[in-house]
Chain A
Amino acid sequence: MSNFDFENLNNQIEQDFAAASTSEQLEALRIKYLGRKGIVAGLTSRIVALPVEQRPEFGRRINRIKQKISSLLAESQQRLGALSSGGAIKKAIEDVDMTLPGITQALGHCHLITQTIEEICGIFVRLGFVVVEGPEIESEYNNFTALNIPLEHPSRDVFDTFYLKPFHIKTVVAKRGKNQRLQNQASRLLLRSHTSPVQIRVMRSRKPPLAVVVPGKVYRPDAVDASHSFMFHQIEGFMVDYNIAFSDLKGILELFAKSIFGEAIKMRFRPHFFPFTEPSAEVDISCILCKGKRGISGRRIGGNRCPVCHGKGWLEILGSGMIHPNVFKQVGYSAGRYSGFAFGMGVERIAMLKHGINDIRIFFENDLRFLRQF
């Protein structure tokens, strides 16, 4: 065992390295000699089989061989690398399979609702609007009365509302008798049922010119299903100055709708009723799926109905109008001095239309597989 022919191995090594002309061949040699099952490893494993007195000498010889291989390997690598410029860099990447999937740092995702708000508000901000937010707990006055929605009026039905349990005793001396009930009602706190009370807050604290967008959560006691949620998001917008007209509202909203849904969509302004605007309009866009081709206005088309617009050809996207004089009166603007428009839209609705989502509940489930899609 001890008389292993180290000389022969030495020669063999020199011949092998002299013959190597590519880095692949060099690598093969490295594996042949220094690999885990290579020749050097084979020799080393034989040490234990030797008589104790022979072991040091054998070990020293193996070490010499190892050093020889290492230096030859380095030498040859240098020699081969010099053949082409950037050889060392090439070497580092030559084993990469470029068809493997890309490697990246995991980024988080903003919620689709946030992204939709950003997109919508971004359009208005570029036009010169500013973003303002308001509290979700509101007074009955800001949510209703100041917006020309009187107590006991059927229009309040549309804005069904969550009220809060009273939690501190009013120190204000309430008027006695019949007025007391009304008074107590007017001071009740509630969860805002729309973002419009922020109109009141902004107008009370500032004078025109105003151009404001208000994103935020709103609450209505609706039973939860695929298209209803007791909490959802709205974006309110309004503009007030000396001579703002309905045609300005049309201009701004057309620009908005085309930015969001594309130049090709058609738009229509349909008269409607909101207590806080007069004239009021609902705004429809042509159906983004069937392009309005699968429906005639108001007609129920049998059988082959478009799943998005249900055969109407149009999709309602927002409510709008000229701010009602009573609202200006409530915020203390003198009569007839200013005019302005306001509009409001549901964020979930816009996101659902844009991204083909058919169940509003998915927004609040927060399934990572949903969040990561946007």
Chain B
Amino acid sequence: MKVTYNWLKDFVDITVSAQKIAGLLTMAGLEVVYLEERHGDWIFDIEITPNRPDLLSVIGIAREVAAITGKRFRLPRSIYKQRNNKNSSRRLSEQLKISIQDKTGCLLYIARVIKGVNVGDSPYWLRRRLEMLGLRSVNNVVDVTNYILLESGQPLHAFDLGRLQGDSIVVRRAINGEEIITLDGQRRSLDDQILIIADDRKPIAIAGIMGGEGSEVNAATRDILLESAIFNPITIRRASRTLGLSSESSSRFERGVDVQGVDFYSMRAVNLIRDIAGGRLILSKNTTKPRLQKKKIILHLGQLKRMLGADYGLAQTERILGSLSFSIKRHGNNLEVVVPSFRSDIKREVDLIEEVARISGYENIPVRLPRIVPQGVQEEVSFWDKKRVVRNILISQGINEAITYSLLSRDLINKFGYSESQLVLVDNPLTNQQEILRPSIIPALVSRIEYNLNQQQKDIRLFEIGDIFRRDYSESQQEKTSLALVYCGIDINPLYIKGTLELILKRVGVKEFEFTLCNDSHSPYLQKDFSLSLIVNNRILARLGVIKPEILEGLDIKNYIFAAELDLNYLFIEINNAQKQYIPIPIYPEVRRDISIVLKKNILFGEIVKGIVKGRIPYLIEIGLKDCYSGRQIPFGYKGLTLFCIYRADDHTLTAQEIETAHQKVLDILKTAFSAQQR
């Protein structure tokens, strides 16, 4: 909403500078977005919050200025003076019928007929005031309606009476397919949700939004019908949205117009038209004014103190509310406050408390610190902390955290093999890039790898923690928290990602887990035979492996990418169960022996370890892989492995003989069960 300094001065004595007023308004909740000097006047552009339709007017803002500067608000005599010529005869009155067919859509309608106007250019002062606020001058009659709209917030519309058909004004819903050419020259097709003003034949205006071209006031107009009304905010809002058309008028009706002003400002406009364009008011006609209930609210001074944390005396409170046109009666330490009709936002005590705080200044509310009572730690509370634990493990491994969009294009999701029936879809995406809630974090992370490869980055390892969405999780839940990892680099193979998962589990204290070859289709982007499931307590915690080459080709990525996705909700349950127990530090030394063997390539390391563990070798506490190679020394179809074995006893130092015996058993198993040759 724009206002000028001089226009405000019509209604309140301002003795301070425009800059000072701008600062005060901002601090009273009417944020002045900018202040501009023009023609020796100042233009304020003020952001009006949606709860204050009364501030979409010069008068509304003047009231605020009066309250915050301690001056009186006044309606000048020229406006206040009502010059209602009561010469409209019964015969004339019968010439115009007002028929409200949609009574919920139109709450009040006042029509005034002025005959014999001289339509022409507006006087300079009127043109300039409109132009200062960004409105184009049309002609003196239309300019007056716009002027009153800006001044009072009451939208008005003037029809060329001579161009209306018949003798009725009908307020009704449009018939589907009915059309009107609006003042902006657009032909608009209407439907039965849209409220219109019609004459006997056709729509002459879209109610509360814009008039029709056919009844426009122009130089040839002699007689006018001036409409002042209240339309249902929801009706106007819907129509405005449907038509994609909003105006100064619709933006006010949508938020609510003051019932008390409809007649008053209509008459004010008539007076101004007669002053500027001449003519005689020959008829005033209105529907029944809706009954107004006086809103009475009791303000308890104790509650004021409780909410704001400061004492406001009775007198100060009274003065502030009085300056905002509330009427007040004292009842002991409480105030009975009657709310003026234009303050539709004031509904309860707390709204009055805000008025007191606002006008006396938030800066005058003292600062204090509350006493915070410690709250018990609950499951939901520790979730964030557990995520932090996982993040810290990952960054310690040189992996960087990414945050990608959770809304993705169908195109990308399809490439990764998800079927439509699993997906959660957005009903109103802005573009097709935001149609689908991610069923997995992997597709977006892979696209981030693609991006970084294009930026000549090498060794790209990313992780992301966030929610993923599937229709099929359960009836009531479509959302889970997931950890995703993607690795891409020259010296990286899928075992790196496996190692990271192992590290997380060991670090958080989950000891029992196993990897099995994954053969489900839950992660449709993983290459079969190169993917694993990580199983904890007979339930799949994570899936990992190699992204299918055809997906990468489709994205024009020339490197392998390894990926893992882990169910964090499940991991956190396991963390809760995991409690690290102290294991005594060994007293007796351990002995390490390496074995280098050659065996058939297709024998899996995991099988070898299982085989040796099954052999229950005495004193063997750990067996692991030191090296794995295939080279010129190794025959085709074979591989070389170097294993290490660690032996230790809890109760004595092992003798050479004991170690030899145990180690020989390991060698025997390798030879007999796996046909391995020692190198």
> Are A and B genuine complex partners?
yes
Residues on A lying within 8 angstroms of B by beta carbon are 105-111, 113-114, 118, 121, 127-133, 135-137, 152-155, 157-158, 162-165, 167-168, 191, 209-211, 215, 217, 219, 221-223, 230-231, 239, 241, 243-248, 250-252, 254-255, 268-273, 275, 278-281, 296-300, 322, 324-325, 336, 339, 363-369, 371-372
Q: Which of A164, A230, A243, A300 contacts B427 (CB 8 A)?
A: A164
Within 347-363 of B, Cβ neighbours of A (below 8 Å) are at 348, 350-351, 353-354, 357-358, 362-363
A155 and B370 form a contact (CB under 8 A): no
Is A364 within 8 A of B405, CB to CB? yes
B35 to chain A, nearest CB (A): 5
Decide: A110 and B391 in contact? CB cutoff 8 A.
yes
User: Which residues of chain A have C-beta atoms less than 8 A from B366's C-beta?
Assistant: 247, 250
Tell me if A's interface is mostly helix, strand, loop or mixed: mixed
Binds A, one of B1-9, B471-479, B521-529: B471-479
Identify which of A137, A162, A243, A298 contacts B26 (C-beta below 8 A): A298
Contact between B402 and A136 (Cβ–Cβ < 8 Å)? no
Chain B neighbourhood of A271, CB < 8 A: 27-29, 354, 357-358, 362
Q: A167 to B477: give the CA distance in the assembly, Å.
A: 12
Bound-complex Cα distance A158 to B34 (A): 21
Give 16 new A-B contacts, CB below 8 A, not counting A114-B391, A247-B310, A366-B451.
A109-B401, A110-B401, A128-B374, A133-B380, A133-B383, A154-B237, A209-B373, A219-B406, A221-B428, A231-B405, A244-B370, A247-B366, A278-B350, A278-B351, A279-B357, A297-B26
Interface CB pairs A-B, < 8 A, 10 = A128-B375, A132-B381, A137-B478, A137-B479, A162-B434, A167-B424, A268-B27, A366-B402, A371-B400, A372-B400
List B residues at the A interface (Cβ < 8 Å): 19, 22-23, 25-29, 31-36, 44, 49-52, 233-234, 237-238, 254-255, 303, 305-310, 348, 350-351, 353-354, 357-358, 362-363, 365-370, 372-375, 377, 380-381, 383-385, 388, 391, 394-407, 424-430, 434, 437, 448, 451-452, 455, 457, 460-463, 466-467, 469, 471, 475, 478-479
Once the chains are docked, how many angstroms separate the CA of A302 from the CA of B189? 45
Interface centre among B25, B51, B397, B457 (most CB of A within 10 A): B51
User: Is A247 in contact with B354, judged by CB distance below 8 angstroms?
Assistant: no
Q: Is the CB of A230 within 8 A of B434?
A: yes
Given the known A-B contacts A107-B398, A162-B429, A299-B35, are A246 and B357 also in contact in the complex, defined by CB atoms under 8 Å? yes
Complexed CA–CA distance, A251 and B371 (Å): 11
Selected contact of B462 from candidates A135, A153, A339, A366, CB within 8 Å: A366
- Tally of A-B Cβ pairs under 8 angstroms: 272
- Is the beta-carbon distance between B369 and A255 smaller than 8 angstroms? yes
Known: A367-B452, A368-B452. Contact between A221 and B391, CB under 8 A? no
Q: Is the CB of B400 within 8 A of A368?
A: yes
Question: What residues of chain A lie closer than 8 Å to B452, measured between beta carbons?
Answer: 366-368
Minimum CB–CB distance from A267 to chain B (whole Å) comes to 10
B70 to chain A, nearest CB (A): 18
The reply to whether A324 and B33 form a contact with Cβ atoms under 8 Å apart is: no
B550 CB → nearest A CB, Å: 24
Which A residues are in CB contact (< 8 Å) with B44? 298
**Cβ-defined partner of B50 (8 Å) among A118, A154, A245:** A154
CA gap between A137 and B351 in the complex, in Å: 32
- Give every chain A residue within 8 A of B233 (Cβ-Cβ): 154
> What's the Cα separation between A132 and B377 when bound, in Å?
10
**Across the interface, do B407 and A230 meet the contact criterion of CB distance under 8 Å?**
yes
Given the complex, which residues of A lie within 8 Å of B22, measured CB to CB? 296-299
Does the CB pair B429–A111 fall under 8 Å? no
The residue of chain A having its C-beta at the shortest distance from the C-beta of B36 within the complex is A300
- Are B35 and A366 in contact, CB atoms less than 8 angstroms apart? no
Q: Which residues of B contact A239 (CB under 8 A)?
A: 370, 372
Pairwise interchain contact A251-B370, C-beta atoms closer than 8 A: yes
When the two chains form their complex, are residues A269 and B479 in contact, meaning their CB atoms are under 8 A apart? no
Measured between alpha carbons, how far is A344 from B43 in the docked complex, in Å? 32
A110 vs B33: C-alpha distance when bound (angstroms): 37
> Nearest A residue to B380 by beta-carbon distance?
A132
**Complex partner residue of B29 from A132, A137, A273, A371, CB under 8 angstroms:** A273
Chain B residues whose CB sits within 8 angstroms of the CB of A365 once the complex forms:
448, 451
Contact, CB under 8 Å: B308 / A155: no
Contacting pair B404 A269 (CB below 8 A): no
Is there an interface contact between A137 and B469, defined as CB atoms closer than 8 Å? yes
Given the interface pairs A248-B368, A273-B51, A279-B354, the reply to whether A221 lies near B429 with Cβ below 8 Å is yes
